[in-house]
Structure formats: C-alpha cells, structure tokens
Amino acid sequence: EKLRKTAQKWYNFNHMNTFEKGRNIYKKLKAKLEKSSKGKIVAIEPDSGGYVIGIDELDAALKAQHEFPGKIFDFFRIGFPAVHKFRRKKWME
C-alpha cells in the first residue's frame, strides 16, 4: 500500500514546476554553498526549500529521504552546470 501511494505521487505532480522551484532555490543558495561544498551534491525539497548535502547522489538521496520522507527532490552538483557529464569514448584511434 505504501509503495502504491508513493508511485501515485510520482504520477500526480507537475515535473517542470517542481524542477523550476528547485532550480530557483538552488540559485539563491549557490554562492553560500560554493564556499564550503563545491563539487558535492545538494538535494533540494522544492515545497519547503529544505536541502541536504551529500558527497555523491546516493549519499544526498539517502539523507534527503531521511530528512523529508515521501518527498520528491531536485539534485544539483554544487558549482557545476550539471550533476553528470557523459562523454563518448574513442574506441579506435
């Protein structure tokens, strides 16, 4: 039952609105966070504006779930434009 309710939350919210809220909160926090946590991951709970910082995505996600159970989060790498960078590997030189 708990899993079904959590799954329904994922289907019943506006993804873009949630992301915009999270991004706006991150913009306000960015200067403060870059001083002490550059390169770490921040998980932001957009409805409350609360956040947690982790050394990687898993650490931030676990801390966020503990701090804000049942909520949805936006993740940002502090001081960088993206959480991940994908590169194409050269197979033949």
Q: Where are the domains of the chain?
A: 2-77
Alpha-carbon span 46 to 48, nearest angstrom: 6
Higher pLDDT among residues 3 and 23, named by residue: 23
Residue 79 pLDDT greater than 80, yes or no = yes
Residue 12 pLDDT greater than 70, yes or no = no
| 8 Å CB contact between 24 and 16 | no
Q: What is residue 84's predicted lDDT score, i.e. its pLDDT? A: 79
* pLDDT band at 5; cut points 50, 70, 90: confident
Q: What is residue 67's predicted lDDT score, i.e. its pLDDT? A: 97
Sign of the four-CA dihedral 27, 16, 55, 51: positive
